Chains A and B, each alone.
Chain A
């Protein structure tokens, strides 16, 4: 196990290197020269050159790349080019609001999707199963933007159950007051695809011999579904779940924009709009790192869930 983990960690290096090169060259080729924007409405070439010098983008590419690598190794990405706020401070302060929405969402969405998937898989082929699938398909076909606009209008404006937008100070206050509607919308959006996917995993298992054997031996349906089927269907579910974890670091920019949640998703969009490379670099690198780590974590969880899995 230890050797496996070490090998996987070692394999992270070329992957990260690829990410670094991709981000660096994408920014330099298509990112635009931020000096022209930062220079203000009226500027001459000398002022623009001064800004480029201060930002370090007048350096040869290999020097800039070296600085980028050093920043990753020291976890110090400097300050935002447009606001001068430290990148580490940006990440620390914006991550909280995003996680306040996304962590409860992930937990609720997973639990509800699994429970519903088990239920509809159990009554597969029935009218209920078909109705749920039709609703899911319709739900999947509608853009999240429509959900946001309609839910904000109906539940926040018309019914007044939630504030239209905003963000407070305390975690519980935010969770109860400001995050509720965004979580509700995200739940509606995320349950449909998860439910369809998990139902497929469940159906694959329900048709297995061990289920028939269990029933023949008189094991209760509840135990078959919640213990045996769920356990065996858990590997693809874990894969799906783990792949969504790095998304926590990216937030949900549409939800954050519409509900004025000062999260990381809004920050990413702001950074792109402002060609704020230090922020873009840091977030990209951390998300890549998180993706690799969660993949590793997923593999280790497979082993814990199913002892037949061999880690090579």
Chain B
């Protein structure tokens, strides 16, 4: 029997963080909402089992990341076709740093976006990210390093002074 009250409590305590994460890995408000709702829907369908999971929020992040990767893979080709013929994207006001970051993130591979989001939004260490994504520590370091370098190239106003010293911290 699934306990609706415990699910609702879990939802209320984690949905905001999950929405930030979804936004960081998809780069799109609507998609983030779709993915996060889909992830919570899957969580509810398995809540009898998941309610006793030692780390249900980590499970949820994994689902969001997998859904985002899959959707990205599919939509990327569709968007690529549209971008050749469609109007140019609307430029955000320069003050909207978060929006500028999201635009830059869209040009990074999914794994790099995921690693950066786990590090900067959830304060996770390289080792913790490696455990969550089930890849070697060296791979996570590479994702973070390449992701930061690429962001530095895409966001030229950012200082790159600390990049060399901290690029795999």
Chain A bound to chain B: no
